[in-house]
């Protein structure tokens, strides 16, 4: 399960019965106490008998074979931070040097993980969580009949924590997919997965809430349940009482690392939008309007003359972006997007991301005490949905880096003046420990601000290059042995 403050999904249900007590010698009198029916304390009327708990066995029998166990292996790079300043004669010096402590980039540590997934197509298409397979060099899918397959990662999308896998098999059992909108709060739901490696474990509970927003998860309106989910359940299906998948178990809220009553699932319709793009286009594209927004509280609503605290308050409009071109200004409040009312900024992000770049949408703004409609043509989202396949030109390059120039807001960060942001790292660069998100500031001491400069240095170099890389607040020269 994903580990932050949030992780993955049980519920313990108990029904307390009321039993009558007789203090006399009941055996000798052969008296049987009458069954007790609950009584309404207000009206005095007898309530109906308590309904029996649902039986999930039919759902499990039908769908259990379509739920798979996923094991992954790979290597993680040691972070590049400053190495403790120790004397070479210090007993700890050899320890830090040998185990690639901070300051020694390029060290690798074997990693292993496990999770769950489910087959959505008989020809071997599987859905799971992105965090289950992220960084994996090998993915093994195990079916309930004990068959094992090496899986290809078709693609992953971190913003929605969704991944698509493919195994080489035919005529596989597949789940039925449902509509999360048709499942209400309080209804029973069921999870099947492999918590702690216990394959095809079944847990049940109810929907506790819908359209939940979690920290740093602006694209997903999570389904909250009290179904028990634990590490290993990640990527497994959440079923409704019709036996249809309505979500992917993704996170739990926990102070201990284990289940504590709050679990969250990605609605299956959200995951399918992403999955179809990964399958057919190899990547995920999202619309962007180019604004910074914040939530509206009552005090802000009153300050702007709004009747209720709803909408997304625009606090920044980057120059040259779609919103700036359309005339959006800081201080505008976005009330609707293409007719959809906006209660919270996260809703705006979801509606915008559902549209393709180049689409035109209508914004309803609150400006200077009144509503105003304007049209905006969406740009491409700057979120980099990750595809599994390394582009051919990148795989063949000596350096193995895909980079882009810094955007204006990134170049305003302290101590960064120019440089190139790493979007993908493979081959020689990856072996040296360079990761996506690093900023390459210089090559062999020469500052770089254009990808062409980096290619030129790599082409002319003999066997190695020294890249000055910034990651977070740390800056370090990294030697790269060229392929």
Question: Which residues participate in catalysis according to the annotation?
Answer: 131, 161, 234
Q: Retrieve residue 421's tokens.
A: 């942001």
* 412's tokens: 């305003």
Q: What's the number of CA atoms in the CB half-sphere (13 Å) around residue 254?
A: 24
**Is 300 within 8 Å of 313 (Cβ atoms)?**
yes
Contact indicator for 463, 74 with CB cutoff of 8 Å = no
**What are the phi and psi torsion angles at 27 (to 5°)?**
-65, -45
The first and second tokens of residue 397, run together, are 């390059």
Q: Which residues is 203 bridged to in the sheet?
A: 191
Instruction: Say how far apart CA 233 and CA 250 lie, in whole Å.
Output: 8
The end-to-end CA distance of the chain, in Å, is 37
Tokens linked to 336 = 């609707």
Contacts 24+ apart (CB under 8 A), 342-348: 342/310, 342/311, 342/312, 343/310, 343/311, 344/213, 344/295, 344/312, 345/218, 345/293, 345/294, 345/295, 345/312, 346/213, 346/218, 346/221, 347/312, 348/293, 348/312
């Amino acid at each position: 399960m994903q580990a932050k403050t949030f992780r993955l999904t049980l519920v313990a249900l108990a029904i307390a019965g009321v039993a009558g007590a007789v203090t006399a010698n009941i055996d000798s009198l052969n008296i049987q106490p009458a069954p007790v029916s609950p009584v309404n304390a207000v009206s005095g009327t007898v309530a109906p008998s308590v309904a029996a708990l649902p039986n999930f066995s039919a759902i499990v029998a039908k769908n259990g074979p379509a739920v798979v166990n996923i094991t992954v292996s790979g290597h993680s790079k040691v972070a590049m931070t400053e190495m403790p300043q120790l004397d070479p004669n210090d007993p700890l010096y050899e320890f830090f040097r040998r185990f690639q402590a901070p300051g020694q980039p390029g060290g690798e540590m074997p990693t292993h993980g496990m999770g769950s997934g489910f087959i959505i197509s008989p020809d071997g298409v599987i859905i799971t969580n992105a965090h289950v397979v992220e960084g994996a060099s090998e993915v093994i899918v195990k079916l309930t009949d004990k068959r094992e397959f090496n899986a290809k990662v078709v693609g992953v999308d971190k913003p929605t924590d969704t991944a698509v896998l493919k195994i080489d098999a035919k005529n596989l059992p597949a789940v039925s997919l449902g509509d999360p909108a048709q499942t209400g709060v309080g209804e029973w739901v069921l999870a099947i997965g492999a918590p702690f490696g216990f394959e095809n474990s079944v847990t049940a509970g109810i929907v506790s809430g819908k359209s939940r927003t979690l920290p740093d998860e602006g694209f997903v309106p999570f389904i909250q349940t009290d179904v028990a989910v634990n590490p290993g359940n990640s990527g497994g299906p959440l079923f409704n009482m019709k036996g249809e998948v309505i979500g992917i178990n993704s996170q739990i809220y926990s102070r201990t690392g284990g289940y504590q009553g709050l679990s969250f699932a990605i609605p299956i319709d959200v995951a399918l939008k992403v999955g179809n793009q990964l399958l057919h286009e190899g990547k995920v594209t999202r619309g962007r309007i180019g604004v910074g927004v914040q939530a509206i509280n009552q005090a802000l609503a009153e300050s702007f003359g709004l009747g209720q605290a709803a909408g997304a308050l625009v606090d920044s409009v980057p120059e040259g972006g779609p919103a700036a071109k359309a005339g959006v200004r800081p201080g505008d409040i976005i009330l609707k997007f293409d007719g959809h009312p906006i209660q919270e900024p996260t809703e705006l992000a979801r509606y915008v991301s559902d549209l393709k770049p180049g689409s035109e949408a209508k914004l309803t703004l609150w400006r200077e005490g009144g509503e105003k409609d304007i049209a905006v043509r969406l740009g491409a989202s700057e979120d980099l949905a990750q595809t599994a396949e390394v582009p051919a030109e990148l795989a063949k390059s000596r350096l193995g880096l895909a980079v882009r120039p810094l955007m204006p807001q990134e170049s305003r960060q302290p101590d960064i003046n120019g440089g190139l942001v790493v979007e993908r790292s493979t081959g020689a660069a990856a072996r040296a420990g360079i990761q996506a998100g690093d900023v390459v500031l210089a090559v062999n001491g020469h500052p770089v601000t254009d990808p062409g400069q980096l290619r030129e240095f790599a082409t002319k170099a003999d066997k190695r290059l020294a890249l000055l890389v910034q990651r977070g607040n740390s800056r370090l020269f990294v030697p790269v042995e060229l392929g």
